Structure 1
Amino acid sequence: MPMDLTAVIGGIALVDHHVHGALRETVGRPEFEGMLTESDRPVPPWMTQMDSQLGFALRRHCAPLLGLEPSASAGDYWAARSARDPEELARLFLRASGTGHWLVETGYKGDMLLGPAGMAAAGGAEAREIVRLESLLEEVAPGATAAGLRDAFRAALRARCAEPGVAGLKSVVAYRHGFGFDPAPPSHAEVAGAAGRWLRRIAAGAAPRVTAPALLRMALWEAVETGLPLQLHAGYGDPDIELHRCDPLLLTGWLRAVEPTGTAVLLLHCYPYHRGAGYLAQAFPHVYFDAGLAINHTGARSAAVVAETLELAPFAKILYSSDAWGPPELHYLGALLWRRGMTRALTAWVEEGEWTAADAARVATMIGRDNAARVYGLDPAG
């Protein structure tokens, strides 16, 4: 009997290796629609964010879980959604995703979202934490001196890494500066000088937002020294970034410098630079990547993006993530669209005689679960 790839891929207990929590509170429709875009600006009053690839995918695939017909109207979708509380919505969509393990990044507006324990309970799965470097540095800074900031951050980072349930680290240097930074570790003088300027601004009442290249580099190199997997946002994101400075190819020198440490570097999302990320994953043994965020936002075109991730990198270097944040529909939709994209690409290659069905099933399982289990030291059963 021929292997049913749809069933095989649909049955993988996914490891979502980069995700944020689902909403823990009720939001209004304007706030909900604002969570369907990477823009941090209000949705203009003359349009709806439901009229987007993500909005159409949400109406098509999430509506049936709310008892509606596929592609129900935006108004009907909102009414059905509003009849359920956040706890019910989280259970419904998280469990329908078929995810076996969530690696939850907690560094962005975590007070609005379920933490790892909440995700595990709502999703009926396991969950571990990914610690954001810049958030930790900003927590440490107000109590530190310029000369002592590096040591204070190192101590705080090592303490967090030693906590049970912490699986890895993440940096948003792409947002704070971009990837065109000096790849070498910063000197003590560089760090102390940048720290002094930053701490003086904080003392004068500025928000403790770290943007100095020397401090961002310091945080990256301290993370590398822990040996934990290190995630880096790359490519597409909100307007706080300058997209041309987030091309992961700009990291080549730094990746080369990190290589002797053996620390795994995981490039997140990468769109529209996912093909370049595939090259880096092929070129460097410690580099991995995913298409994360782009899969939900490209909706009906997401199968093409998933297929493009399979072009160049060894299959042991590609991971699955949803990068869902907020509405639990995004956690479900990311999994559904990734499964659909993989099924379409691999089925076509099997039917063309390029791949065997057994190889297709094995590769899908590697990318959906086993690669992340290996990199993060998880139970491979999910």
Structure 2
Amino acid sequence: MDLTSLRQLIQTHPLIDNHAHNLLEQNAAASEDDYPLKSIVSEAHGRALDNALTTLPLIRATNQLSELYGTLCSNWTDVEKAHAHWVQSDYQGLVRRSLEGTHTLLLDDLLTDDDVEPYSWHDQFTGAATKRIVRIEAVAASLLVELMDYERKPDETVWGLFRARFLAALDSAMDDPAVVGFKSVVCYRTGLDVDPYSADEEALTASLHRTLDSGTKRSGYRVEDKALNDWLVQQTLKAITFKKRAGIVKPLQFHTGLGDNDINLVRANPAYLQPLIDQYQDADIILLHSAYPYTREAGYLASVYPNVYLDLGEVFPMVSRDGQEKLLRESLEIAPLDRLLWSTDGHFHPETFWLANCQFRQALEKVLVEYVQCGDMNVEQAKTAAIGILFENSNKIYNLNASVNETKFGFYDPPSVMRITQTQKATTDPLDALLQKYPDLKYIWMQWIDYTATTRVRIFPIAEFKRIAPKAKTDRYLLGGMLDVAGRHRSARGFNDRATIMTFWRSERNEVMDGCPRTTLENIVQKLRAEHRVEVLCGFEIEVVFLRPQTDETGMTTNYAPATRNHSWSQMTSDTRIMVPILEEINEMLASMGINLQQFHAESAPGQFEFILPPATPLAAVDALYAARQVVTNIAEKHSLRATFHPRPIASGAGSAAHTHISINKPEREDAFLAGILNHYPAIAAFTLSQDASYERVRSGIWAGSEWVAWGFQNREAPVRKIGAGYWEFKSVDGVANTYLAVAALLAGGYIGLNTGAKLTVEECTVDASSLSASERAELGIRTPLPKTLTESLEALEEDVVLWDLMGPKLVRNYIAVKRAESECLRAVPEAKRRLWLLERY
């Protein structure tokens, strides 16, 4: 199950924002008195708006806006300062960052404020021209002002003039190509209990005069008398119905649910609209703002009326994360997927757009991924749903005729993803496709990696696996193809007539178990994505030593010797050339499994070679690492060799590692990410250097990272080698670690650094830090030695409560207990026997 592509699509697919408002002019955006920034997370006004400072939406926004601004915001005062700086120094840059990924904006551009930019001004920041949504109450109010300047003829009435002009304005908007829809705020004015039938002329005339009496030409007129407000809605729906018959489709949006204290919350329930919806079933109606807190009522209407759509906007970012996810799930309970639309309700400040889009993508990803994991959807169905909500549903209902390929973003082509025929569905069942491709497949090896980095396995004959697979739910990769079966595993690789599947730890009821290494890694990756929009790629270097067994007279293996002796780094000697056919066989087997090596070469120690794996997302990268190691080991056995990943199998030679490459997509935040890792490095080492034997590499002068917590650009004698912007190699990882936990711990350190805005106080080191004096190290901020024993790193982990909490208290507690017990058992064994045992085990 390719959840990675689903997540990527949700996070990057261009958006059609089906309901938003104009942004402020630069000078107005800097006015905190007139346009307080707190309003981006609350509909409250006046003193009530101050209460927003203690709400989860504002606290969450404070943390997330650090990314938008590129500076740490610890509190709301920091946010206001950063906002003011951007507005003054690069307002258009702030807008551009905030609207990144937006294909089209549909703007309700008739707000009463004079300080906003015109709708066409926004075009420079989006993939296509901005379109207008006409607010009918605003049109009515402007017509009333005009009427006060008009000298009526004796036979003309105010009502007659107003009626004619409003209908003419509707007709003009219907024919305007820049207008794609209409909006009513009757919810604010008199409530959603709109009468489907018009009052008589006398009642409407009286209603109009009451409206005129409530204002003046100078102050303007607020249209809030029920008879008149209902009439405006009725006439708009009649015009929409009439024009639709002529092929002109322009829906009417209704504000529903969430609003300020000017709204009657009870009458904001869209259920009140049912008689009106029923009366005008040929007019398309959009219920805005998720109808919060009446989302289920809105979803119900969308499920039983063919002309009703539900917009999912405004609650992002004005509701907490839990509320947003709950609301999204409620909207999906019965509402058709092609009736759900996305909008930001962005207005005035650019941050409203950025926060809404960021948080909605996070919620949509979490909900759809969970549905796929539970088996409610497959990946392609989830992709179709996401593309529909983000883009295609609005594209269709507003008749935009937009194509992603025509945008300046060009991420995906929705039709190619969405056009899935029944024939394609029938022939792409993952298990069937696997068996068609590999008809000789006989066994499935279900594998997991425990805390001792031992690969545990249960072997299923293919007939039994086929029997149990449909009963479970999962996502996975199998031999480069998709296996949409079996709920406890993900990634699978093949070898001859076998396929190996790496599993999650699940209970008998298929519930997530605390302490699962793969789940731990995935959770941290998700936290980086959801909270910091940081995407991670990982890659590994497999360093392996090929050994020849030495036996006694009984045939018992007593020791191992290097398979080659005339051996040199990146050189092919007469000795190492003998290994070339084996190396090529390994490469070809991996390529057949979809693991395409970037290169392979001789390493420094006798019998030592290195295979460089391609980068991938963290979980997929570690899965590929274990699959590749199994191929290396199996092919070595085929040639009567032992392939070992022991940290230092030859005491006098160079060590072997699993150098881990990590890159992030936010290089501007690399200092905080790296600082977090360095600050927690001694505790992280408990996962990356997880055996007593691992510390045979914590020495200077052997290209293993030396003995101090330090980093340097292309410095091979530092535990962290910087390769490029936001890209590092971590040398303190070896082949006896549980690599899922090792990578999880490194990323956890980076996450902590981002969360705390950690400062990188360790300066670049260009030499082996062990060769420096204490004062020279201090000048570079190098003060922390690497642990020299497993005991030291486990003690550091025990004391690191922040890392402990992030990795999971139960996991860390159990891990420490297991590693201490394992160490005690191994230390009780004589050194020679212990080394032999480790060589045969790892």
CA distance in structure 1 between the partners assigned to 2:238 and 2:364 by the alignment:
35
CA contact (8 A) 2:3 2:369 kept: no
CA distance in 2, matches of 1:306, 1:110: 32
2:41–2:317 Cα contact (<8 Å) kept:
no
Partner of 1:90: 95
Matched, 1:178 2:182: no
Whether 2:272 is the aligned partner of 1:250: answer: yes
- Does the 8 Å CA contact 1:131/1:168 hold for their aligned counterparts? yes
2:175 maps to a residue whose letter is A
Q: Does 1:103 align with 2:72?
A: no
- Which residue pairs with 2:123 in the alignment? 120
CA distance in 2, matches of 1:239, 1:99: 31
What are structure 2's unaligned runs of at least 5 residues?
148-157, 241-249, 405-842
What is the Cα deviation at residue 80 of structure 1? Answer: 1.9
1:300 paired residue among 321, 341, 348: 321
C-alpha offsets along residues 113-149 of structure 1, whole Å, 9 cap, x if unaligned? 2332122223454310101000000111234412321
1:1-382 equivalences under 5 Å are 2-4=2-4, 5-24=6-25, 25-29=28-32, 31-43=36-48, 47=50, 49-69=52-72, 72-85=74-87, 86-95=91-100, 98-144=101-147, 145-202=158-215, 207-227=220-240, 228-259=250-281, 262-269=282-289, 270-301=291-322, 302-381=324-403
Question: Is the 1:158–1:226 Cα contact (8 Å) retained in structure 2?
Answer: yes
For 2:116 and 2:314, the matched residues in 1 are separated by 18
What amino acid does structure 2 have at the position aligned with 1:309?
A: S
Could you tell me which amino acid in structure 1 is paired with residue 95 of structure 2?
A
Classify the secondary structure of the residue corresponding to 2:166: helix
Which amino acid letter does the alignment assign opposite residue 320 of structure 1? W
Q: Which has the higher helix share?
A: 1
TM-score calculated relative to the size of structure 1: 0.92
Is the contact made by 2:37 and 2:80 (CA closer than 8 Å) also made in structure 1? no
3-state SS of 1:147 partner: helix
Q: What one-letter code is carried by the residue in structure 1 that aligns with 2:81?
A: A
Q: Distance in 2 between matches of 1:149 and 1:137?
A: 8
- Greater displacement, 195-204 / 305-314: 195-204
Contact between 2:16 and 2:105, CA under 8 Å: does it hold in 1? Answer: yes
Identity of aligned residues (%): 27
Whole-angstrom CA distance in 2 between matches of 1:35 and 1:306: 20
Structure 2: distance between partners of 1:244 and 1:202? 27
Q: Distance in 1 between matches of 2:51 and 2:275?
A: 42
**Is the contact made by 1:23 and 1:90 (CA closer than 8 Å) also made in structure 2?**
no
Match in the other structure for 2:665: none
CA contact (8 A) 1:315 1:363 kept: yes
Q: Provide the C-alpha distance between the structure 2 equivalents of 1:318 and 1:331, rounded to a whole number of angstroms.
A: 19
Q: How far does residue 188 in structure 1 lie from its aligned partner after superposition?
A: 2.9
| SS of aligned partner of 2:314 | helix
Match of 2:583 in 1: none
CA contact (8 A) 1:130 1:170 kept: yes
Distance 1:48 1:193, change over 3 A: closer
Counterpart code for 1:78: E
CA distance in 2, matches of 1:41, 1:129: 30
Q: Which amino acid aligns with 1:16?
A: D
Q: C-alpha distance in 1, partners of 2:209/2:32? A: 43
The worse-fitting range, judged by mean Cα deviation, of 222-231 and 266-275 is 222-231
Q: Matched residues in 2 for 1:212 and 1:128: separation?
A: 30
Q: Displacement, 1:322?
A: 1.1
Task: Confirm or deny: 8 A CA contact 1:299 1:337 kept in the other structure.
Answer: no
Amino acid in structure 2 at the alignment position of 1:283: V
Distance in 2, Cα, partners of 1:166 & 1:321:
17
TM-score (norm 2): 0.43
Which residue in 1 is equivalent to 2:499?
none
Aligned-pair CA distance for 1:304: 2.3
Would the aligned equivalents of 1:146 and 1:199 in 2 still touch at CA under 8 Å?
A: no
Structure 1 contact 33–48 (Cα < 8 Å) conserved: no
Are the equivalent residues in 1 in contact too, given 2:136–2:232 (CA < 8 A)?
Answer: yes
Unaligned runs of 5+ in 1: none
Shift of 1:293: 1.1
Letter in 2 for 1:248: P
Q: Secondary structure at the match of 2:287?
A: strand
Amino acid at match of 2:313: G
**Secondary structure in structure 2 of the residue aligned to 1:153:** helix
SS of the equivalent of 1:112 reads coil
Q: Offset at 1:77?
A: 2.3
| Cα distance between partner residues in 1 of 2:314 and 2:373 | 29
CA deviations 1:67-116 (Å, max 9, x no partner) are: 124x6332322222211123332122112xx1111100112234232332
Q: Which amino acid aligns with 2:54?
A: D
For 1:311-344, what per-residue CA distance to the aligned partner results, in whole angstroms no more than 9, with x for missing partners?
1101111111111112111101111111111111
Whether the 8 Å contact between 1:58 and 1:329 is mirrored in structure 2 is: no
Structure 1 contact 94–332 (Cα < 8 Å) conserved: yes
Q: For the residues of structure 1 that align with 2:263 and 2:394, how far apart are their CA atoms?
A: 27
Distance, in Å, in 1 between the alignment partners of 2:29 and 2:212 is 37
2:214 touches 2:222 (CA, 8 Å); kept in 1?
no
Larger RCO, structure (CA 8 Å, separation 6 or more):
1
Superposed displacement of residue 35, structure 1: 4.4
Task: Indicate the SS of the match to 1:322.
Answer: coil
The amino acid of 1:267's aligned partner reads: L
Count of aligned positions? 375
Amino acid across the alignment from 1:290: D
Q: Which amino acid aligns with 1:285?
A: P
